[in-house]
Structure 1
């Protein structure tokens, strides 16, 4: 048996099965084996990429085209943080505009904008999902962090 599957099943049997629920959200590194184990064990659980990995992905995909400019890297990471932690559509859109204005100064501006539209908005829009979970009072006992 795959070790991720074993851990997921044991965690379910020890923590979740006795109280009759499954976590509403699991935060992972999106490892395919781990996701498969969670999907097989926790039906209906939403997945989120952890912020450490999101920031690493920003660095990997967005620093290109800025050379070694520490100031640009820091500005871009700060804008990325505002995207990640935005609490509503207005703050998300404002952060996205700041991020794109910085990205436009890169020699890889189109690649960065495509990355933002393809990947980042999928994660960063999750603030609404987390607020919904919290508003339904499931967050504290249904989320597995």
Structure 2
């Protein structure tokens, strides 16, 4: 883990931002869980607010806490901390949040939730998310 300076701020903390891969069919029921861009943006705002940098953006759906994809960057020394937007996202991204938390603790890797306010989705925002998520291979750039 990076050194803590005299002001108590960690220098060069590299964050892995966890987002949940949620089916587009759930857009009306819970748009934030489908909107991976907003999930990653929330993590980036949280990281910047703490003086950290997002080194990896991860996207999972019901991944086992012991899956090597979660830990490869940690093992390689590229990631120091995990952050997710909130517990709901973690619960969707992983098969077991308690097991993942325990594994983070065992490995000495902090796990945080950003806990920032989610965007308020109106019809236009939902339509934008729908377009972006339904056309990723058609060259749509999200604008």
- Provide TM-score, normalisation by structure 1: 0.26
More helix by share: 1
Larger CA Rg, structure 1 vs 2: 1
